[in-house]
Amino acid sequence: MRFSFLTLFPGLVEGYFSDSILGRAKEEGKIAVDFLNPRDFSLSRHKKVDDYQAGGGAGLLMGPQPLDDALAYFLKKTPHAHVVFPVPAGKPFTQKDAKRLAKKSHVVFVCGRYEGIDERIVEEYADELFSIGDYVLTGGELASMVMCDAISRNVEAVLGNDASLDEESFEAGLLEAPSFTKPNEFKNKCVPSEFLKGNHAKIAGLKKVMACAKTQFYRPDLFVNQKLTCQEKDHR
Ligand code: ADE
């Protein structure tokens, strides 16, 4: 799967793909990452990409020309790319979106800076607008990296063990059950004894109950639709 970032600051994003799981996925060709800088497309003498807001307002906007030329150039070569704009006004990005977008062959993130992007560019090119939370970041790069990370780990074979995707948080609308490793006792706190007995059906049932309790405690908003599932007899 390919990810492209349209950004004035490719250096901010590049480093994220040099190490760890995504670094390895890139090295092994499971994901590809590339960059396009709208400044390189600016027709102004000083490679200007921003301007004052029409009608007034604090701060500068990214003007349409460099982005339009960059996107037109890019999409001519890759017309099937799925174009995502990270913006505070977008719909909330969720695990469901991460899984859905992991099935695309190419996602392009258009990263705004300053006070944002001229709306005509969004109208012309956006397939989807996403927000990663109700706060305003200084640019779209961080939000794009967050989404790219969440999407990548759902791309086949990016995680060493695809089974780990099945049980994780949000899968069935529940947070993942608490997990433990060695030692069995640490600072007077013990791993739940049932986890050490090897009865996998029982452990699975227990984990379901714990996932329900954890969701109810930390994210009651997610829990509202879970009552029935959590009360299923065979999971008690
Ligand atoms: N750009 C600035 N703030 C953002 C947010 N919260 N989500 C996505 N993109 C953004």
ipTM associated with this complex: 0.98
Q: Is the pLDDT of residue 227 over 70?
A: no
pLDDT of residue 173: 86
Q: Give the confidence band of 44 by pLDDT, cuts at 50, 70, 90.
A: very high
Pocket of ligand 1 (CB under 6 A): 86-88, 131-133, 135-137, 140, 143
Range(s) of the domain holding residue 184 = 167-235
126 and 23 share a domain?
yes
Q: Which residues have C-beta within 8 Å of that of residue 55, sequence separation ≥ 6? A: none
Query: Which residue, by CA, sits nearest to atom 10 of ligand 1?
Result: 87
Is the peptide bond between 183 and the residue preceding it cis, with omega within 30 degrees of 0? Answer: yes
Residue 136 annotated as lining a ligand binding site? yes
Mean pLDDT of the chain: 93
Contact 154, 96 (CB under 8 A): no
In this predicted structure, the answer to whether residue 236 has a pLDDT above a threshold of 50 is: no
Interval between CA 109 and ligand 1 midpoint (Å): 12
Half-sphere exposure of 61 (CA within 13 A, CB side): 16
- pLDDT(99) > 90: yes
139 is in an annotated binding site: no
221 phi and psi angles, rounded to 5 deg: -65, -35
Do 17 and 104 share a structural domain? Answer: yes
**Domain check: are 111 and 143 in the same one?**
yes
pLDDT of residue 172: 80
| Same domain as 7, residue 119 | yes
Look-up of token digits 């017309």: 79
CATH number at residue 21: 3.40.1280.10
| pLDDT over 90 (residue 90) | yes
Q: Is a pLDDT exceeding 60 seen at residue 179?
A: yes
CA 132 to ligand 1 centroid distance, Å: 6
Which pLDDT does position 235 carry in this prediction?
Answer: 47
Which residue shows structure tokens 């009360």?
Answer: 231
**Preceding omega of 10 cis (within 30 degrees of 0):** no
Specify if 114 maps to a domain. Answer: yes
Does 148 lie in the same domain as 62?
yes
Evaluate whether residue 217 is within a structural domain: yes
pLDDT at 168: 81
Asked if residue 224 has pLDDT above 90, the reply is no
- Overall number of domains in the chain: 2
CATH number of residue 219's parent domain: 1.10.1270.20
- Which of 9, 12, 87, 142 has most ligand 1 atoms within 8 Å of CB, for mutation? 87
Q: Are residues 211 and 103 in the same domain?
A: no
120 shares its domain with 200:
no
Burial string for 165-185 (b: 16+ CB within 10 Å, else e) reads: eeeebbeebbbbbeeeeeeee
Atom number of ligand 1 nearest to Cα 140: 1
In the structure encoding, which two tokens stand for residue 119, read together? 């709306």
Gyration radius from the chain CA atoms = 22
Q: What pLDDT shows up at residue 32?
A: 98
pLDDT at 228: 56
Report CA 124 to chain centroid distance, whole Å.
23
pLDDT confidence bin for 232, thresholds 50/70/90: low
Provide the pairing of β-strand 189-190 with 185-186: antiparallel
Could you identify the atom of ligand 1 that is nearest to the CA of residue 134?
6
The Cα 149–Cα 152 span in angstroms is: 5
pLDDT(233) > 50: no
226 Cα–ligand 1 center, Å: 30
Per-residue model confidence (pLDDT) at position 74: 96
Which of 152, 177, 193 is the last residue before a domain boundary? 152
If one residue of 61, 136, 148 were mutated to test the ligand 1 pocket, choosing by the most ligand atoms within 8 A of its CB, it would be 136
- Checking if the pLDDT of 229 tops 70, the result is no
Question: Is 70 exceeded by the pLDDT of residue 162?
Answer: no
On whether 55 is known to bind a ligand per the annotation, the reply is no
In this prediction the pTM is: 0.93
Phi/psi region, residue 62 (left: phi>0; alpha: psi -120 to 50; beta: rest), is beta
Residue 158 lies inside a defined structural domain of this protein: no
